[in-house]
């Protein structure tokens, strides 16, 4: 019984940490340094994912979702990397491009 509860709790914890793209975020595109001057900055976005599987993907999805939430359609990646003990982080600029 205790093993079953532990397995269920682990499964919920791992699956509960997955970050999917919001429907509006699917239109956000990656912007290169050459394309960036033609875009309006909506600010810096910082995300971090410490738990679950696919930490890098989840952290990037959080960043893209935030760009979309701000009304942006472009993301310029400033940095990605390790965070904390085993996490992943993304720092990016949210952009509105023509």
- Quick check: 97 and 74 in contact, CB under 8 A? yes
Strands (E), 9-67: 29-30, 39-49
Tens-place pLDDT, residues 42-77: 999 999 999 888 999 999 999 999 999 999 999 999
Q: Which of 67, 71, 82, 69 is nearest to 31 (CA)?
A: 67
Is it the case that residue 8 has pLDDT exceeding 80? Answer: no
User: Sorting pLDDT into bands at 50, 70 and 90, what band is 20?
Assistant: very high
Q: Has this prediction a pTM greater than 0.75? A: yes
């Amino acid at each position: 019984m205790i093993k079953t509860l532990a397995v269920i709790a682990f499964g919920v914890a791992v699956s509960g940490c997955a970050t999917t793209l919001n429907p509006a975020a699917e239109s956000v595109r990656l912007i290169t340094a050459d394309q960036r001057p033609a875009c309006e900055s909506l600010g810096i976005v910082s995300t971090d994912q410490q738990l679950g599987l696919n930490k890098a993907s989840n952290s990037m999805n959080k960043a893209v979702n935030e760009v979309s939430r701000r009304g942006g359609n472009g993301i310029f990646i400033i940095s990605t990397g390790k965070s904390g003990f085993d996490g992943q982080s993304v720092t990016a600029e949210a952009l509105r491009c023509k």
